[in-house]
């Protein structure tokens, strides 16, 4: 079997303003990128610096398109092949096509190098990890005596499409749920689809049709590549500073004692950051971090940042 390019992007139902998702953004919840959860976001100017430093590769396109399927569990899997399998739209899945007048794919070339040599060299980034994970540990340990760290994700790529028209894709015969091949038009046909009025239905061939459901003006991020950063709590005595996978070990704050950090002794808890994982498929159970936990986290973090006189 010939090698197949891995799909590592997460698609969004609605485009997101690029200023909300600059490369290097760090979040706890990538599926709801508009929600802050007190995420770390670099300035938009940072991307220009990264391009000059050769950290970023940009592929600009005209009359670009993106085809994806929304699953019932909310996970959106992009397929950028010319042809994909798609069935009639049901409660289990919904296939969509977006066509834009122009767009680009922007990616960080080497995630490990970027994370280690660029991000973690910045005091603001280290402070972000120290404050968030200190508060998270204090809540988790107090509630259920666990020392599990919440998942954290790094934005390393995005698809930006300009003036997009979103189409709902389905079989022409609504009585059939059999999968059909969805042919994505060639560039000459894409120019005809871009800008069609909402409500217009077009035939794509192979018994498949697409109806223009909405138009989104301006440049928007429609898909983002999130890579999981491995973060875990360790005792200072067990920190593996000599391990090839460990990027950095950070001190944690003593959240119970306002405005202080724990003494750097053998039993002091620390946060160990390891190499950026190269696979988004590892999504562990996060049931211990429910909405009530996050509400408490946000309240306690706000108090902790105020105690430390940190403004964000």
pLDDT in tens, 75-110: 333 433 322 333 333 334 578 888 888 888 899 999
Domain co-membership, 164 together with 279: no
pLDDT reading at 260 higher than 90: no
The mean per-residue pLDDT over the stretch 134-151 comes to 76
For residue 302, the SS3 value is helix
Q: Is 3 part of a structural domain of the chain? A: no
Could you tell me the pTM of the whole model? 0.80
Q: Is 132 part of a structural domain of the chain? A: yes
For residue 55, the SS3 value is coil
Q: Of 224, 244, 270, which closes a domain?
A: 224
Domain co-membership, 235 together with 87: no
Say what percent of the chain tops pLDDT 90.
18
Q: Of 171, 198, 224, which closes a domain?
A: 224
Q: Which residues pair with 260 in a beta bridge?
A: 254
C-alpha span between 110 and 94 (Å, rounded): 33
Domain co-membership, 135 together with 180: no
Domain co-membership, 82 together with 180: yes
Q: Is 121 part of a structural domain of the chain? A: yes
C-alpha span between 234 and 273 (Å, rounded): 10
Q: Phi and psi (nearest 5°) for 184?
A: -80, 130
Q: Is 2 part of a structural domain of the chain? A: no
Domain co-membership, 161 together with 146: no
Domain co-membership, 185 together with 249: no
Domain co-membership, 266 together with 170: no
For residue 128, the SS3 value is helix
Domain co-membership, 125 together with 237: yes
**Would you say 93 and 136 are in contact if contact means Cβ atoms under 8 Å apart?**
no
Q: Is 201 part of a structural domain of the chain? A: yes
Closest CA to 154 of 107, 103, 221, 104: 107
Domain co-membership, 302 together with 197: no
Domain enclosing residue 297, as ranges: 111-152+229-307
What's the domain count of the chain?
A: 2
Integer angstrom CA distances of residue 99 from 20, 71, 160, 221, 236: 22, 21, 11, 13, 52
244 pLDDT band (50/70/90 cuts)? low
pLDDT reading at 118 higher than 80: yes
Domain co-membership, 71 together with 27: yes
C-alpha span between 305 and 290 (Å, rounded): 22
Domain co-membership, 58 together with 115: no
Q: Of 224, 240, 271, which closes a domain?
A: 224
Say what percent of the chain tops pLDDT 70.
69
Q: Is 4 part of a structural domain of the chain? A: no
275 pLDDT band (50/70/90 cuts)? low
**Residue 46 has what DSSP assignment?**
H
Q: Is 83 part of a structural domain of the chain? A: yes
Domain co-membership, 118 together with 167: no
**Would you say 251 and 261 are in contact if contact means Cβ atoms under 8 Å apart?**
yes
Q: Is 22 part of a structural domain of the chain? A: yes
């Amino acid at each position: 079997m010939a090698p197949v390019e891995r799909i590592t992007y997460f698609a969004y139902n609605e485009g997101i303003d690029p200023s909300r998702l600059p490369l290097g953004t760090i979040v706890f919840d990538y599926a709801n990128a508009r929600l802050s959860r007190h995420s770390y976001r670099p300035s938009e100017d940072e991307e220009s610096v990264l391009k000059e430093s050769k950290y970023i590769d940009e592929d600009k396109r005209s009359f670009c398109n993106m085809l994806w399927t929304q699953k019932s569990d909310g996970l959106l899997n992009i397929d950028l092949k010319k042809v994909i399998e798609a069935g009639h739209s049901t409660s289990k899945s919904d296939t969509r096509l977006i066509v834009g007048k122009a767009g680009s794919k922007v990616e960080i070339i080497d995630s490990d190098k970027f994370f280690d040599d660029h991000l973690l060299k910045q005091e603001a980034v280290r402070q972000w990890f120290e404050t968030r994970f200190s508060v998270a540990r204090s809540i988790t340990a107090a509630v259920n005596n666990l020392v599990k760290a919440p998942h954290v994700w790094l934005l390393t790529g995005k698809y930006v499409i300009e003036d997009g028209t979103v189409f709902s894709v389905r079989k022409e015969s609504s009585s059939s749920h059999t999968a059909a091949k969805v042919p994505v038009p060639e560039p000459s046909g894409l120019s005809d689809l871009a800008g069609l009025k909402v409500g217009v239905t077009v035939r794509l061939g192979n018994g498949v049709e697409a109806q223009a459901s909405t138009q989104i003006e301006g440049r928007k991020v429609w898909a983002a590549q999130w890579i999981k950063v491995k973060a875990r709590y360790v005792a200072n005595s067990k920190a593996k500073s000599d391990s090839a996978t460990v990027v950095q070990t950070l001190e944690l704050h003593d959240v119970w004692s306002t405005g202080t950090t724990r003494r750097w002794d053998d039993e002091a808890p620390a946060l160990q950051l390891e190499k950026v994982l190269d696979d988004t498929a590892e999504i562990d159970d996060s049931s211990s971090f429910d909405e009530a936990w996050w509400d408490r986290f946000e309240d306690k973090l706000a108090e902790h940042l105020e105690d430390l006189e940190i403004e964000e």
